[in-house]
Amino acid sequence: MRKTLLFGSLLAVFLMVMIPAVSAAEAKVVQSAKTSYILNLQTTYLETIKAKYANDPSPQTVILLTLLIWFLKLLRLGAVFMIGIILLIILKIRGGQNNTSAFPC
25/69: higher pLDDT? 69
Q: Where residue 105 falls among pLDDT bands split at 50, 70, 90?
A: low
* Chain centre distance of CA 19: 27
What's this model's pTM, rounded to 2 decimal places? 0.32
Amino acid at site 36: S
Instruction: Determine contact, residues 61/53, Cβ cutoff 8 Å.
Output: yes
Q: Is the dihedral of CA 51, 54, 56, 57 positive or negative?
A: positive
